[in-house]
Homo-oligomer: A and B are copies of this chain.
């Protein structure tokens, strides 16, 4: 028989009135402050649930000057690599009571910058960012206002930030060496943009492995591309147009690998004549026609490590910045 009251959210002051105590006491109960009479605490808790009290975190954040939100900026949420990383971050941070504010920079530095500003305005506790470019300058805006930042996947400028990256050079060298051991000699590389951290490191690893094996570098076997599916597609068509086509290709990321496979399929290249190697997870891939090995980074781990670094920095803002290099990873045979 209760009258349906205008459903306005009860506030601490309402609870206080209902329980016959002050707002301070209610707040103490809400925050499990032990300095409160158990009996009164019980009464407050009763009022709390009777009135259906729901905390207003905005008010709390304003007063506490801190938030339980962490911003995450990735270049492309549709890329399984970043999806995995985000999952890792989310799972790890949930345990510490943080929520994620996810932003998709689309590899656009301006958009990224605007998200950084927005996140900073939201007073987030910290930001984890996979930079669209090597944009040290923009990140300093955050750090200068004291927002903890962790950079992932690609390093930004010098080592002033906590970072988590893979050992891309060694990884690329591993993949390349694998081909060498298998007797391949015309090993091509579809490279990521030279200006990107991962692109240049992977290229270096490839070159290094060739040098170590005493195989001469052939400029025609290195195609600069842009990490896109379409880029991989075009690169393969370019490589195969040669009179002396490659017998193996080390491809710098997963999207380009898909494009490469599409091109091979379209050109109906004999699977026997070519082998592929790629970086990053391609969990939804089901190609079984062409030989493909991928570097199995522990992708989610990049997320959990980043989360750990961020939590550490939030707890101790003056820590020395730390760069964690995750080992190159094991080679996973995807199709052979």
Contact = CB atoms under 8 A, between A and B. Distances in A.
B285 A288 contact: no
A120 interface: yes
Contacts of A144: 7
A90 interface: yes
Contact of A101 (B99, B117, B258): B99
Interface string A104-133: 100000000001011011110000000000
Contacts of A56: 62, 121, 123
B69 A90 contact: no
A62 B54 contact: no
Contacts of A101: 69, 99-102
- Size class of the contact patch on chain A: 35 or more
A57 interface: yes
A59 interface: yes
Given A146-B7, A286-B262, A87 B104 contact: yes
Given A90-B104, A102-B101, A144-B7, A77 B83 contact: yes
Contacts of A258: 284, 286
Interface string A277-298: 0000011111111000000000
Given A57-B118, A100-B101, 8 more contacts: A57-B121, A58-B67, A59-B62, A77-B83, A77-B90, A102-B102, A283-B284, A286-B286
